[in-house]
Structure 1
Amino acid sequence: MWLASPALPIGGFSYSEGLEAAVQAAHVTTEDEAARWLVQQLHLTQARGDMAAVAQALAAWRHGDLARVQQLNDWVLATRETSELRLQTEQMGRSLTEWLKNRHTGHAAAMPQVQWLAARNPSYPMAFALAAHLTAAQTRDALLAYAFGWAENMVQAAIKAVPLGQNAGQRILARLTGEIPAAVAHAQALPDAARQAFSPMLAILSARHEHQYSRLFRS
């Protein structure tokens, strides 16, 4: 539950993951368009990519398979198609790893894993997987928390960027919440060969956002 909180000091609130550029391009101008955009993003990018990587990394952390964690971390970093998206996952990964250092200071069992990850340019999904592992969370519960934390941040971005009212934001969050269990199940079922990161329009919008004249968000 704590890991899903937007108050976690990792900077997630400062990113829109291309949504701000979609608003600028008039792809998202209403509550319904924002909801459909985010539902599609949940299923097409999160469930097939980062959430699947989190699920696989959780298993690796449990078994002490650091080579596997490194492989998954390299994959996440390689799938970032623009500099701002790569900087996002690197910044959030570093911040969550630093939070874990403070949280687990003096915990002999946890600190070697945290320190190992801190030395390897951690992506956010790998840091989240470690954080969830240290709570002994089951994979499904960890992915539900990951997806809901993502959804809350994205809804807040939509409220500011479209813009929308708070009630509209709650309705969008309700739609996303209804979609999250299926996205989690899909992510858990994906093997390495089926995990993917292919969302060309999102990549194009992100590249445009890097040079957008006026913006609120870092991605």
Structure 2
Amino acid sequence: MAATVTAGTSTGMGMTTATRTDAALLQLLWLASPALPVGGFSYSEGLEAAVEQGLVTGEASAGAWLADQLHLGLARADLSVLAQAVTAWREGDAARVAALDAWVRRTRETSELRLQTEQMGRSLLEWMKAVGADAADLPSPAPTYPVAFALAAGRSPAPLREIALAYAFGWAENMMQAAIKSVPLGQGAGQRILARLAAEIPAAVDQALALGDDDRQSFAPMLAILSARHEHQYSRLFRS
């Protein structure tokens, strides 16, 4: 049974008890929410450029593109970093945290992808301060987004796998919204894409958790090319 965080409180429905597992779950839901003010909604991670180039033209191709990005990009890079960074933060291993953060920065293949992870990392630390974290306990300069997310989520007792699931689902929601705006698609199509990604996220997370340092990689040539083109795209909605 989960350990109690607070005593039972009286409600109209009787007595309720908050537990550590409740708090951890709610923290992950909060961190995964598109309403979190970290700016994730303003990035498409190359999807807008793929639409511009005619590689993504509708619901099916958008779903396939994002599923490939989940397995070939997120699972092999950020999700693996995230899991390893949670452990490093919890163990107080500053050198390991710094090494993981440096890996994220040097494997971003375009300036806009690097700026995205840096801006979202800074914004997440600002959010942590806004909701009560002591600024003296937070790193400076701010780490990249997956490392910052690991810090925020790792302060709860949530297991690594659940933290990675939350991170991946938050990414999927943002990318689904990017697809709706850039293709464009209707809300129903967006929800079907999100359902597909949600079904594939557990396997992607398991893949990420199994990776060691020598297995982790960030190699997606087409995405890098599209991102570089997007930096000079004449008309665009998104920052990446």
- Scaled to the shorter chain, the TM-score interval is over 0.9
| Contact preservation (8 Å) 2:88, 2:94 | yes
SS of residue paired to 1:149: helix
SS of residue paired to 1:190: coil
Query: Partner letter of residue 103 of structure 1?
Result: V
Q: 1:128 aligns with which of 144, 149, 153?
A: 149
Structure 2 match to 1:40? 68
SS of residue paired to 2:75: helix
**1:22 lines up with 2:50 in the alignment:** yes
Structure 1 match to 2:239? 218
Q: Please state how far the C-alpha of 1:105 moved relative to its aligned partner.
A: 3.6
| Contact preservation (8 Å) 2:112, 2:231 | yes
Distance 1:142 1:112 in 2: 24
1:51-200 to structure 2, matched below 5 A, reads 51-105=79-133, 112-114=136-138, 117=139, 119-200=140-221
Distance 1:192 1:112 in 2: 30
SS of residue paired to 1:192: coil
The number of residues matched between the two structures is 212
RMSD, matched Cα:
0.9
Q: Report the structure, 1 or 2, having the larger helix content.
A: 1
| Contact preservation (8 Å) 2:90, 2:155 | no
- Superposition TM-score, scaled by structure 1 size: 0.95
Higher relative contact order (CA 8 A, sep 6+): 1
User: Unaligned regions of 5+ residues in structure 2, if any?
Assistant: 1-28
Distance 2:49 2:204 in 1: 24
Larger radius of gyration: 2
SS of residue paired to 2:44: coil
Distance 2:137 2:147 in 1: 11
User: Unaligned regions of 5+ residues in structure 1, if any?
Assistant: none
Q: Per-residue CA shift, 1:143-194, capped at 9, x if unaligned? A: 0100000000000000000000000000000000000000010111100000
Query: Partner letter of residue 117 of structure 2?
Result: T
Q: Per-residue CA shift, 1:128-153, capped at 9, x if unaligned? A: 00010112221011001000000000
Q: Per-residue CA shift, 1:75-94, capped at 9, x if unaligned? A: 00001100100000000000
Distance 1:94 1:4 in 2: 16
Distance 2:210 2:61 in 1: 29
SS of residue paired to 2:214: helix
Structure 1 match to 2:23? none
Q: Please state how far the C-alpha of 1:112 moved relative to its aligned partner.
A: 4.5
| Contact preservation (8 Å) 2:142, 2:148 | no
| Contact preservation (8 Å) 2:82, 2:147 | yes
Identity value in percent:
67
